[in-house]
Structure formats: structure tokens, C-alpha cells
Copies of this chain bind each other. A is one copy, B any other.
């Protein structure tokens, strides 16, 4: 079945393609009322749908943006993506979401694919493994915004949590409740990743501020698959920690699996706070105290910033990173 094109509509309405195009783009300024009506009728009668691909080619804009998340398994990624989608929707922009799976090769593949598809800009949760590619995009004045992690040296702002503050709030909460031996557990990646570094920094600073010792054997950064083992090691220390700060949702899940399996009571035997709110936090037993990120605002800001760059046709921005406030949600795991 042959699709209806603008030519068919023009013939049917007995006007030129140009006039139909004017109509489609709502340039009614000089259009006769009867012409307008004839075109409208023809469109309905033929069931005409404009071909965006053709339009995009001519206009050099697809009204589509790409989002590449570092790892879709983090709840944070999904929530931010959804907020980005909502914000784009207002301006009639569409989204293509890709998952780099913490792999710079995949990230590069997706960047290339999205650019070949001519998306108007990309929001990246950077793996950190493609610095020269990010630089190249910038040289080509291609609109990019970073989320969750920053890329030092690039004049592109990143939308991030106040990570140090988040860790600090958690540690302070532990301290207030009387805990002194406080550990932190994060997942590790081969590349250095802003949130992890800053959260550990905030953790250390806060301990120091409260004159508590900073112990290396309480600071863990291991691959997700090794978390259970690492907990084993840490809890067998002579003076094991009484509290653990989970650096993100996946880490928290591994810790809960461990405590469940070894029948360790929370918070009596070990207190827990997780950064990132998880779906089951409120109805887990015990309900889990978390530090949540304002994912909705962060996604919105990322979208707005990217759309702004797209409109201004600029890639750089002089603004420092945008930092968002963490929120402590007190529940029963501390």
C-alpha cells in the first residue's frame, strides 16, 4: 500500500505542494479561507500523515534528543529519564534512551548511532571512558549535557547531587543515633566516578569533623559481585562496623541480601542507610532509611539546559555544575 504524500494532498486539494506545506506549518498569514478548508478536507479524506524523516532532512532538526545512561539498573537512571521525557514533551521533543551498561565502547557506539540519526542533542551519564569523543562533540559545537557525573576540564556543566552533603547527612544521622563505627560501601568501576569519590570524601570529612577515626578497612569500593564477600571480611574484623552507608541502590540491595542470608538484625546488629531511594524502602522490614535525590528536578534541569543549548546552537556553557539537595528520609534501619 502506497503511503499518502504531500503531493497527493496537493493534487486532491488542487493547490501546490508549497501551499499544503504552509498549511501544515500553520503559516496561515496569507492563506485564503477556502484554500485552507480544501486542504483540511483533503488531509482528512486521504488520511495523510506528514513524513517526519523528510521534514527532518530539510530542516536539519529531528526534534529528538538522545539519553545515554551509564547503567539502567540504577533506579536513578530510570527516574531521571522519565523526568527528561516529561520536560521534553512540553516542547514536542522525543527521546531515544540508550543504556551504556558501564561500558565506554557501548557508550561510543550509542553516541555515534544517535548522531548518525541526527538527534539534536544528547544527555549523557558519562562512563568517563570517552573523553576525546566528548571533546570532539564540543569542538563540533554539538549540544551535550552531563548528568550524575562530571567530566573535569570540559566546559559542559553536569547535573549532580550534592554528593558530599548526602554522605555527610547519612554519617551525621548515624552519629546522632549513637553509632561510632561507621563503614561505607560503594560499587567500584575501573574509571573514577564523581559520585563515588565525592561520597567517600563527604564520609571521611564528616567523621573527621566529629573526631572519629577514618579507617581504611571501613571504606569499601568493590565490584557488585564482590560485595557479599567484602561484607564477610569486614564483619569479621575484631571491631566490626555497627553501621554501613550504602553508596547506591544496587549496593543496598546486595547488603540486604547478605543480612537476610546471614540473619543479621537491622538495626540492632547493623544499622543501614542507603543513598538513592528504592521502591521497597517503605515496606521492607525494617523500613530502610535513605537519602533520596530529587530525580525529577534533576531530569527537568538536564532537559531544559539541553533544549536551551539546542536553541542557541551552542555547546559550551560557563556555568559551574548544577548541584541538587539530598533529602534524608528517616525510617527504621538506623
Q: What residues make up the interface of A, taking CB atoms closer than 8 Å to B?
A: 1, 3, 47, 49-54, 56-57, 62, 64, 72, 78, 82, 94-97, 99, 112-113, 115-118, 136, 139-141, 253, 256-257, 260-261, 278-280, 282-285, 287
Contact = CB atoms under 8 A, between A and B. Distances in A.
How would you classify the secondary structure of chain A's contact residues: helix, strand, loop or mixed?
mixed
The number of times this chain is found in the oligomer is 2
Contacts of A287: 260
Contact of A279 (B54, B96, B136, B253): B253
Nearest to A287: B260
Contact of A96 (B50, B94, B283): B94
A253 B53 contact: no
A85 to B, nearest CB: 8
Given A57-B57, A257-B283, A260-B282, 8 more contacts: A51-B116, A52-B116, A54-B57, A72-B82, A82-B99, A96-B96, A256-B283, A285-B285
Q: Which 5 pairs between the two chains have the least Cβ-Cβ distance? A: A260-B283, A280-B280, A52-B116, A257-B283, A53-B118
B49 A53 contact: no
Contact of A53 (B53, B96, B97, B260): B53
A117 B140 contact: no
19 contacts: A1-B139, A3-B140, A49-B112, A51-B57, A52-B116, A52-B118, A53-B56, A53-B118, A54-B57, A95-B96, A96-B96, A253-B279, A253-B283, A256-B280, A256-B283, A260-B283, A260-B287, A278-B280, A279-B280
Contacts of A284: 280, 284-285
A321 to B, nearest CB: 26
A117 B52 contact: yes
A170 to B, nearest CB: 21
Nearest to A249: B279
Contact of A50 (B49, B116, B278): B116
Contacts of A97: 97
Which of A95, A256, A283 has the most chain B CB atoms closer than 10 A to its own CB? A283
A68 to B, nearest CB: 13
Nearest to A259: B283
A79 to B, nearest CB: 11
Contacts of A141: 1
A141 B2 CA distance: 10
Nearest to A136: B47
Contact of A115 (B49, B56, B113, B282): B49
A117 B53 contact: yes
A130 to B, nearest CB: 15
A113 B94 contact: yes
Nearest to A142: B1
A305 to B, nearest CB: 21
Contacts of A118: 51-53
Contacts of A72: 82
A284 B279 CA distance: 12
Nearest to A256: B283
Contacts of A280: 253, 256, 278-280, 284
Nearest to A95: B96
